[in-house]
Structure 1
Amino acid sequence: MADLLSSFLLTPWAPLLILLFCFLDGFFPPVPSETVVVGALSLAFATGPAATPTALLVLLAAGVGAAAGDSAAYAIGRRVGTRRWAWMRRPRVRVAFDWAGERLAARPAVYLLVARYIPVGRVAVNMTAGATRLPYRRFLPLSLVAAVCWVALSALIASVASAWLGHSPLLAAVVGVVLSIVIGVLIDLGARLVRRARGGRAAAPAPGAELEHEHELVRTGAGTEL
């Protein structure tokens, strides 16, 4: 199996397939682009110097595909909005779109870069950017930076896995994929905790608000019966 995968990785089809996966993942989250990229890079790094050109092509294909997928999501959001299709109105997806709309209005750069690592959040932010008419000349550079950072993280994960298990390329690929999944889960969990913490602070009354309310009742006479 390792020899078969290594042989396929050295063919011209591998980078093209990876580019396609990364493009589709830009607007269809079930496509496992990160798994494919990290697995391919781990296998290439563990194979040896012969696979170095292929690894560079994989990195380039992943970056181009990721940026193109982001632009596709932006175009979809700009054309159809974020409510037209049934899946957009599902509770979890709706929460993601609402969250993206609120954050993009305040700090588009930060959330376009951070959302890259949150599967549903990435699609929601990019589509919302199009739906809210964020200028494409501003969106595209941020999307390119996010793609480069994502590819760099994928390469780092793959290099760690191949350094541990360079004697077994297939096992290195499996470990790389597991590491990428674990990191993705941790990032998603961290994002949820941050959202909950901010939501709790927004719902909590401001310090002194209850005391000011009591003073207002006394001043107006509404609290005389108490």
Structure 2
Amino acid sequence: MIDMLLAGWASSPWALAALFLLVVGDAFLVVIPGEAAVTAFAALAVSVGTPPISGVVAVAAMAAFAGDALCYVVGRTVGLHRWAWMRGRRAQSAFAWSRARLDRSTAAIVFTARFIPFARLAVNLTAGASRVHAPRYLAIAAVAATGWAAYQSVVGVVVAWVVPGGTAAAMLVSVAVALALGLALDMLLSRRVRRGGGRDAAAG
């Protein structure tokens, strides 16, 4: 019954629109599971045959780029101190870490951060506030968004192939895998940010 409901929803013309909104929202609110949504839709594409996997990748890539570009614009117009959460210790450490890496290697940090929810928010805001050259930055962000969309979709496809039990089981496992990978990467980067902040403070 659940598999039939999921199949009907997947064939809805609103399915990819929902994916687009989730991924764009994830650019601003890290509690929105953008990664999980992409892997779940990819699992649906394999299990049900709709929406097409090419559509999932394309919509996810466009939405990811749109979200990153909007964050860049917010950073450029608002800065990094306007709202209370920006002035918190964790946010300021992430902004300082992002600024140092953007100065050294823009492409490397944009690609790395695209796969880590809070990091990509910090990097995009910092890039805008630091007035990193917009055409070059957005071109890199577009390539990174496409790579991210393809990667998350591959995770969903592999899960759908490997996990028995139908559409619902494949979706649940793909969501769990996506969340676990995102959490692990976020924890790893948070550790690096703290270490980098400590070294910067010692140098100062």
Structure number with larger C-alpha Rg: 1
Q: Does structure 2 conserve the Cα–Cα contact (< 8 Å) formed by 1:103 and 1:111?
A: yes
Partners of 1:20 and 1:113 lie apart in 2 by: 22
Which amino acid is the alignment partner of residue 178 of structure 1?
Answer: A
Q: Which runs of 5+ in 2 are unaligned?
A: none
Q: How does 1:124-135 map to 2 (within 5 A)?
A: 124-135=122-133
Which amino acid is the alignment partner of residue 150 of structure 1?
Answer: W
Q: Would you say 1:160 and 2:161 are equivalent positions?
A: no
User: Shift of residue 27 of structure 1?
Assistant: 2.1
User: Shift of residue 54 of structure 1?
Assistant: 2.8
1:123 corresponds in structure 2 to 121
Provide the aligned length of Structure 1 versus Structure 2: 202
Partners of 1:106 and 1:23 lie apart in 2 by: 28
1:6 corresponds in structure 2 to 7
1:31 corresponds in structure 2 to 32
2:16 corresponds in structure 1 to 15
1:101 corresponds in structure 2 to 99
2:138 corresponds in structure 1 to 140
2:172 corresponds in structure 1 to 174
The TM-score, its normalising length taken from structure 1, stands at: 0.82
Residue 200 to residue 67, structure 1, CA distance change in 2 (3 Å):
same
Q: Does structure 2 conserve the Cα–Cα contact (< 8 Å) formed by 1:19 and 1:62?
A: yes
Deviates more, 1:188-197 or 1:92-101: 188-197
User: Shift of residue 70 of structure 1?
Assistant: 0.3
SS at match of 2:108: helix
Q: Which runs of 5+ in 1 are unaligned?
A: 206-226
- Identity across matched positions, percent: 35
Q: Would you say 1:72 and 2:73 are equivalent positions?
A: no
The TM-score, its normalising length taken from structure 2, stands at: 0.90
Partners of 1:128 and 1:184 lie apart in 2 by: 21
Q: Does structure 2 conserve the Cα–Cα contact (< 8 Å) formed by 1:93 and 1:120?
A: no
Which amino acid is the alignment partner of residue 81 of structure 2?
Answer: R
User: Shift of residue 28 of structure 1?
Assistant: 2.3
Q: Which has the higher contact order (CA 8 A, sep 6+)?
A: 2
User: Shift of residue 103 of structure 1?
Assistant: 1.4
User: Shift of residue 107 of structure 1?
Assistant: 1.4
Q: Does structure 2 conserve the Cα–Cα contact (< 8 Å) formed by 1:42 and 1:161?
A: yes
User: Shift of residue 55 of structure 1?
Assistant: 2.6
